[in-house]
Amino acid sequence: MKTMTCRALGGPCDLAHEGATADDVIKAQDQHLKDAEKAGDRAHQPARDAMKRRWRHPRQSMAWYRETKEAFAALPDS
């Protein structure tokens, strides 16, 4: 298991997401941003909008995805 924060994934806070893969933490971040949006948290809105764009245009978002996977791989196990 490895841990990445909301901030490390482009968000504004230090909430930790733990997962066995980069995809696990990306999905956790997506859910966190959805929950923040529903709660009316305006600080998370830019990150939520960026995540929405990535899901809608996955080919254009491959650089972000590769960078996130590389950053995850470089982390120590928690």
The mean pLDDT of 40-67, rounded to a whole number, is: 92
Q: What is the pLDDT of residue 66?
A: 94
The mean pLDDT of 11-17, rounded to a whole number, is: 98
Q: What is the pLDDT of residue 55?
A: 86
pLDDT at 7 over 90: yes
Q: What is the pLDDT of residue 26?
A: 95
pLDDT band at 58; cut points 50, 70, 90? confident
Three-state SS string over the chain comes to: CEEEECHHHCCCCCCEEEECCHHHHHHHHHHHHHHHHHCCCHHHHHHHHHHHHHHHCCCCCHHHHHHHHHHHHHCCCC
The mean pLDDT of 48-68, rounded to a whole number, is: 91
